[in-house]
């Protein structure tokens, strides 16, 4: 019973992240993404408590952890009587990290793919240096040419309750300038959903 209550509490908070009405997966397939048939998906943003624990647009929360979002999908997966929530998005790695910064700008300097790789390495170093905000679960490693994948946990507190968010991030370093990226964001306990969505990376 307590476990069900915990998941219910999580669902309520994640619903705060995803306030838009969900549509069918077919309706969200404008970007030619093939979604599992059990999932309801909608493209767009919403409010989030990511990183700061204060409700604000998701884009702002992602910038605070180094992600400049360009595209985002809200995902609802129903299995039996349980609902599981996630986000998939695309964007770029920001030049500079940390919620204390007042403004964010992706790098526009074209200095080759080596610079993009160094930005990924700098990002991992920043995650390691700030355990109050992050936990590095899987270090970023090259899984195929110019694609670096890693996994982190973002520690978020809301009304004195911790809601850790699990991010799987794929950095694409195949061109000059800032790395492009894809991410899947789930609750830390939703391992099955992460496995379902891993193909998106």
| Domain count for the chain | 1
In the DSSP assignment, the letter for residue 21 is P
Query: pLDDT by residue (tens digit) across 12-38?
Result: 444 444 443 343 333 344 457 888 888
Which domain does 175 fall in, by range? 2-200
Which neighbouring-strand residues pair with 75?
41, 86
Query: Whose CA is closest to 111, among 166, 46, 164, 173?
Result: 173
Q: Which two tokens stand for residue 99?
A: 């919620």
- How far apart CA 171 and CA 3 sit, in angstroms, is 35
Torsion of CA 90, 44, 22, 40, to 10 degrees: -20
Q: Is the dihedral of CA 68, 152, 54, 52 positive or negative?
A: negative
| Res 196 pLDDT > 50 | yes
Structure pTM? 0.75
User: What residue has token string 């039996």?
Assistant: 80
Between these two residues, 184 and 24, which has the higher pLDDT value?
Answer: 184
Which neighbouring-strand residues pair with 89?
72, 183
In this prediction, residue 172 has a pLDDT band, given cuts at 50, 70 and 90, of very high
Which neighbouring-strand residues pair with 158?
161
């Amino acid at each position: 019973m307590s476990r069900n209550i915990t998941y219910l509490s999580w669902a309520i908070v994640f619903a705060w992240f995803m306030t838009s009405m969900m549509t069918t997966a077919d309706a969200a397939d404008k970007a030619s993404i093939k979604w599992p048939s059990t999932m309801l998906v909608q493209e767009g943003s919403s409010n989030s408590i990511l990183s700061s624990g204060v409700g604000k647009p998701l884009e702002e929360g992602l910038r605070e952890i180094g992600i400049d979002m360009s595209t985002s999908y809200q995902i609802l997966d129903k299995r039996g009587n349980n609902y599981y929530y996630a986000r998939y998005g695309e964007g770029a790695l920001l030049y500079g990290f940390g919620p204390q910064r007042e403004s964010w700008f992706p790098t526009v300097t074209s200095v080759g793919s080596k610079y993009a790789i160094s930005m990924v390495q700098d990002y991992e170093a920043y995650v390691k240096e700030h355990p109050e905000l992050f936990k590095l679960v899987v270090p970023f490693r090259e899984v195929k040419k110019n694609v670096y994948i890693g996994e982190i946990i973002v520690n978020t507190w809301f009304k004195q309750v911790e809601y850790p968010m699990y991010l799987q991030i794929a950095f694409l370093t195949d061109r000059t300038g800032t790395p492009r990226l894809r991410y899947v964001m789930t609750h830390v306990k939703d391992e099955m959903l992460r496995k379902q969505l891993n193909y998106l990376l």
